[in-house]
Structure 1
């Protein structure tokens, strides 16, 4: 690790990365880096993201080196007081003494772990506007070898995120939502798989690992406040996403979190404005898919059984969202039960669910029926296994 403050003779030959049109700058990273553990606080993480936005993957930086303007760097961090140079030096020192990524890559039957110091060398002078940043050669494959499994997001989305956890979650949401957009347009995944990218699930254990809070916020109320509620409030206020979440229980404890990601369409903000034509085409494509799923559901024998057991009303059958939800999330599970117990097994299950209809929430019939079959299927499988 080193901090160099002498002049580099070659500085004048290098191009300084300009952030004047910051809303147009993009960051591209490999998914393995996005899912890694960032062992650093907010400032080093934002410096790293800012530096990555200056990498041109079609014109790779010589010696893994890029140049930033001090003034634009201070503007990005909203530093305007007289002590900005001192604070900058302190941030760089802290980044090089404490900050590293713990990258986890799937290998064979487990994971391979690597600890990488992302930026070992930073150089600047007290009389020049340039700041030289040299990336660790070990981090470069995650920034330039991007033929597959990579994610792109807007630098402007990170400007107003003031929490390390907000940045980490935003990148994770971007990774998942980018896959949703890709497979929605290109195909190659089942409808329920595509929807899962827009509604990603993560166990609390994995979320603690991702946010480096395994030994912090042991009380779930505190965990929710600092790792979920506050970061999501920032993300919803300052980025291109609106995100909500549901807590999934296993027994009496919270086992996992399901996030629900929506992309904003904001005409007055070019940083994530969707073109009207593209937006309308995407909207029409989603509506067409929803209609097709709803028609399939209406033809299903399971819909008839739901009507017979008064778990679905004729009025609800006219709602394409409800019917599409049943087709995607519920009927595949009924197929599993049918394979194990036959159609009579499905009938018996729905008869039982109908007998408990006082617990039924009319606001979300698909969610209710999905929960009921998800709770029942493991019991059936366990009984069959014990019988064998």
Structure 2
């Protein structure tokens, strides 16, 4: 039997990877926040199988079909032992893998333990692999009208830690909601921003990552459950994520994550989109690009840099800069009209001195709040002391 030339094998693998990069994984949010009682490989295999489901036409008998070549390409396995490793991975998935799902109903909480894939069939003479999902898991994978998350299968391919995958899915769930309400409306601005800067308690994070009884020393927990997974997520996925710890008393009570999306040409927004959404997105991005260009030329951007209220890294984020141009800089124009440019400089100097750590997660929102709180004071001073309004740039700031 003649072997396939190596260059042809590589071409086949690249073609398969290209096809896999177009796939999306769609799951109910309850599955995202459930406890995945499985290791990295079974969890990734489950995600790969879910990507085969057409949500518009659910598979008959809950069955999908993969190819061994897809599996080997997805897991980047090319050695001679790959078939036995595949067999072991399938066996481990069926022996250990289940989701612990917790859902709230009108009477309280409902708990389910679901083995997602009870049946797998393959042969040593054919490429096809048959995967059958359990009937109990299917409601979390099909007919999803609300409370669902979609993410790119290719983002998961390079993640090499179970905790990276779990955290990525949870971050995707929150960012999906941020994008949905940002374009569709239906939430207040602070609610929308909370999806991009989600908070999770340490207790909830431990439950979701199945580490309630592990990594009891917090620095170890932070390193293995937060820091290292975020390094992988930032390197291999469409997200850039930072975080900060929130204390309650002397202990760390919760974590606030700050998510930004990398700009790239093939950005699909990882959503189930309709034409209206696509048009709204195009208009939004065009407007954002216009505001970004204006912000980069603004004298206020330079002042923010001089006062260390804006970093060069943040200047590369179109969303941040567009937010400043739209919501903050017009307020600075108002202050300039009342107190001159010197008044704006003094305001920013004061804000820089009093800057709170949490502001680093959303500098545009922080600066907007600061100027909105200060402007009424200036206007009231000018009403009480009309002579101040006629002497621009003079007078005390933030008395």
**Per-residue CA distance 1:278-330 (angstroms, 9 max, x = gap):** 64444557566655643797799xxx9xxxxx9x94236999x8674255599
Superposition deviation, residue 108 in structure 1: 2.4
Q: Output aligned runs, 1:295-310, within 5 Å.
A: none
Which residue of structure 2 lines up, in the alignment, with residue 94 of structure 1? 92
TM-score, structure 2 as length reference: 0.69
Instruction: Please say if 1:315 is aligned against 2:313.
Output: no
Q: How far apart are the structure 2 equivalents of 1:52 and 1:94?
A: 18
TM-score, structure 1 as length reference: 0.71
Q: How far apart are the structure 1 equivalents of 2:253 and 2:371?
A: 21
Superposition deviation, residue 118 in structure 1: 0.2
Q: Is the 8 A contact 1:55 1:66 kept in 2?
A: yes
Which residue of structure 2 lines up, in the alignment, with residue 156 of structure 1? 154
Q: Is the 8 A contact 2:331 2:371 kept in 1?
A: no
Q: Output aligned runs, 1:72-83, within 5 Å.
A: 72-83=70-81
Which residue of structure 2 lines up, in the alignment, with residue 23 of structure 1? 21
**Per-residue CA distance 1:131-187 (angstroms, 9 max, x = gap):** 000000100000002100111110000111000000001111111001111111111
Name the CA shift for 1:214/1:316 in 2 (closer, same or farther; >3 Å). Answer: same
The one of 194, 200, 203 aligned to 1:205: 203
Q: Output aligned runs, 1:118-133, within 5 Å.
A: 118-133=116-131
Name the CA shift for 1:329/1:54 in 2 (closer, same or farther; >3 Å). Answer: farther
Superposition deviation, residue 84 in structure 1: 0.9
Name the CA shift for 1:197/1:322 in 2 (closer, same or farther; >3 Å). Answer: closer
Name the CA shift for 1:283/1:299 in 2 (closer, same or farther; >3 Å). Answer: closer
The one of 154, 178, 181 aligned to 2:179: 181
Q: Which is worse superposed, 275-284 or 235-244?
A: 275-284
Superposition deviation, residue 21 in structure 1: 1.3
Q: Is the 8 A contact 2:198 2:258 kept in 1?
A: yes
Which runs of no fewer than 5 residues in structure 1 stay unpaired?
Answer: 1-17, 305-309, 333-388
The one of 129, 140, 143 aligned to 2:141: 143
**Per-residue CA distance 1:317-362 (angstroms, 9 max, x = gap):** 999x867425559989xxxxxxxxxxxxxxxxxxxxxxxxxxxxxx
Which residue of structure 1 lines up, in the alignment, with residue 366 of structure 2? 325
Q: Secondary structure at the match of 2:80?
A: coil
Q: How far apart are the structure 1 equivalents of 2:43 and 2:207?
A: 17
Q: Is the 8 A contact 1:266 1:272 kept in 2?
A: no
Name the CA shift for 1:290/1:317 in 2 (closer, same or farther; >3 Å). Answer: farther
The one of 82, 85, 89 aligned to 1:84: 82
Q: How far apart are the structure 2 equivalents of 1:322 and 1:129?
A: 52
Name the CA shift for 1:137/1:284 in 2 (closer, same or farther; >3 Å). Answer: farther
Which residue of structure 2 lines up, in the alignment, with residue 377 of structure 1? none
Q: Secondary structure at the match of 1:188?
A: coil
* Number of aligned residues: 305
Q: How far apart are the structure 1 equivalents of 2:189 and 2:244?
A: 21
